[in-house]
Amino acid sequence: MQQQYKQNRLQGPSCPHCNHSLVRYHIKNKTWNCYKCKLTFDKPKIRPYRILTKKKKRKAEEQEIITLQQTIKLINKIQKKQHKALLSILYLTGARESEITHPNPLRLRQLSFEKINEKNFLIFRQIITLKRRKTIRRNIPILIDKNTLPLINNITEYLESEHFKEIRDEGDNTILFRMSGKRVYQIVQENTKMYPHFFRHLRNTHLVTEYNLNSQELKQYNGWKDSRPADTYTHLNYIDLAKKLTQKK
């Protein structure tokens, strides 16, 4: 009796009194029993099974890899200062959204300006690295030049805005972005039609094409265990190869 309900995957037996799905058929008595309300009944209620659909995995190849200048223009078109600063940090750090927002939110004390080798840098300190057996933290240096300056200005404008001053209740320990990963995804989709993790692909590609970082240096930048992810996160075309060949040694 119970087997005939299992044959149709779109239907299943449930209690007609409490609608609970944990029911049992007694062959000897030819009755059904509900484990929740403890009632006995002759015929169960038929309910539809929950159909689970597999989420389609996004691929970076499905979106166009844009240049550094195009990325800056795309971010600077955003009107809201908080959203503009969020995308600027996502791009500059190349971090996952969960490494700078919930559950590992970026705090004000983790940002500092420093001079290294007579060059000005914005340092993101103690950024947690996920997907590692041991929790490790990394420091990410951002060179302040003509390319990164507009994005760094987006961050400083947000930190000086009235909105941030209102939520700055913990001093230097204040969380920069109090939002979930789902909200981050919505913001990125609304403003760029991309997904947050794609900025990780863009940043690593530009670090190779614009700053000539190799796979070992990308490993240190991203906190990878080895340099193999560099093959996944860097996307070069023939123009990038042509520029590399024409560079003077």
Q: Could you report the per-residue pLDDT of 202-222, keeping only the tens digit for each?
A: 999 999 999 999 999 999 999
Of the pLDDT bands very low, low, confident and very high (cuts 50, 70, 90), residue 20 is confident
The residue ranges of every structural domain in the chain are 2-48, 60-233
Q: What percent of the chain has pLDDT over 70?
A: 89
- pLDDT score for 2: 45
DSSP for residue 107: B
On whether the CB atoms of residues 84 and 152 are closer than 8 A, the answer is: no
User: Is the pLDDT assigned to residue 57 strictly greater than 70?
Assistant: no
Torsion angle of the four alpha carbons 142, 227, 62, 210, in this order, in degrees rounded to the nearest 10: 40
What's the burial of 123, exposed, middle or buried (CB within 10 Å: 0-12/13-18/19+)? Answer: middle
pLDDT at 146 over 90: yes
- Fold topology of 60-233: hpI Integrase; Chain A (1.10.443)
The pTM of the full predicted model, rounded to 2 decimals, is 0.76
Q: How confident is the model at residue 123 (pLDDT cuts 50, 70, 90)?
A: very high
